[in-house]
Amino acid sequence: MATRAVERLRSVVRSRPALIVVGLALLGISVYAYWIRPLPAGRPEMAYQWPGYFLDRSKGNYRSDSLVQFAQYVSPVVVWAAIGGWYLTLWSCVRDRRDLERLAALVAVAGCSLVYFYDHGSTPDHIWWIRRFVPVVLPGFVLCTALGVSGMIDRLSRPWAVAIAGALLVYLAGFTARADALIATFSENKGYFAQVKRLAQRLPADQPIITNVHKSLAAPLFLAFDRRLIPIDATSLEGRATWDTWSATQISQNTPAYLLLEVSARSPNSLWRDDVVITRVISEHTVHPLPRKAVGLALQLELYRATQERPVALGPATGSRPIQ
């Protein structure tokens, strides 16, 4: 009885009507994801995110734009060729019983694509947006595109096959060159590490340093230059209390206490202060379209050295906004 039911189910799955239904469902989902789902849900609410980059808060986490934004990295042709290639390969495996070893890859690509195109869970800015798709979805789309194009070209006469393959190569070469035009013309963050090294040389190597700086600066100071950093939120009551306790303890032992702050967390009453400005050049963070220009950033820092003669007191707390 069970064997008969399995055989009946297998015959239904392998039947032409069942595969046609799967194809129509795949087409419907793809059309919805590419053209209908990204439509605006309300009035745009543009909010500043990075220099030259604004986010539309009405789009939430931008998951509705997933397939369209993915096409910015691989091209719309690859997206639709991959969808068609996935379906043609499924038909070949299930209906024609050929290349059955590809079924596992088809299942993996389809499963991961459904999960991450529904909600990728990433920030909607370049280059962080694409990271969820790199392990499986991106190579899976490339594989399915190759399978689909190969299957289509095999069915054409040689002149048509050569013409279509050449046109695809020219299109993809042009798309790649245009998408990579910015990163091919400048080195992002060039000179940044040298600036961090000069800052590290101005910091004591044998003393803990209370810090309220961005992680892009704190990480290399700690990992590459072995500076003993203690991060705080200098705008909060807890951060002020940490600094007050630490500086009082150090001063009581006739040892200076060091404080490294971004300019937004400035101490108002210090007589000993060393100003530092660190600059960076990065690509803009747009995903749709991909970055077209470089953006310069300047991080203004203040290094304080508190002693018994020259104490340092943080200004009034302004809330508990953590520094990332």
More confident of the two residues 102 and 183: 102
Place of tokens 């997206």: 79
- Mean pLDDT (the chain) is 85
Q: Range of 204's domain?
A: 192-306
Reported pTM: 0.79
- Asked if residue 96 has pLDDT above 70, the reply is yes
Residue 20 lies in a domain: yes
Degrees (nearest 5) of the Cα angle 70, 72, 74?
75
**Contacts with 287 (C-beta within 8 Å, 6 or more apart), sequence order:** 69, 72, 124, 125, 126, 129
**CA–CA separation, 45 and 313 (whole Å):** 39
**In this structure, are 269 and 122 located in the same domain?**
no
Of 133, 157, 179, the residue that ends a domain is 179
Residue 43 lies in a domain: yes
**In this structure, are 89 and 201 located in the same domain?**
no
Question: Tens of pLDDT along 67-92?
Answer: 999 999 999 999 999 999 999 999 99
Of 119, 145, 179, the residue that ends a domain is 179
For range 112-123, the mean pLDDT: 89
**In this structure, are 141 and 37 located in the same domain?**
yes
Place of tokens 């299957």: 151
Confidence (pLDDT) at 59: 67
In this structure, the chain runs to a length of 324
Residue 285 lies in a domain: yes
Least confident of 71-75, 100-104, 167-171, 185-189: 185-189
**In this structure, are 133 and 202 located in the same domain?**
no
**CA–CA separation, 23 and 21 (whole Å):** 5
Residue 186 lies in a domain: no
Confidence (pLDDT) at 256: 92
**In this structure, are 69 and 212 located in the same domain?**
no
* Tally of domains within the chain: 2
- Asked if residue 268 has pLDDT above 50, the reply is no
Q: What is the largest CA-CA distance in the chain?
A: 93
**In this structure, are 75 and 148 located in the same domain?**
yes
For range 94-102, the mean pLDDT: 87
pLDDT confidence of 1, banded at 50, 70, 90? low
Question: Tens of pLDDT along 184-222?
Answer: 888 888 899 999 999 999 999 999 999 999 888 999 999
**In this structure, are 204 and 287 located in the same domain?**
yes
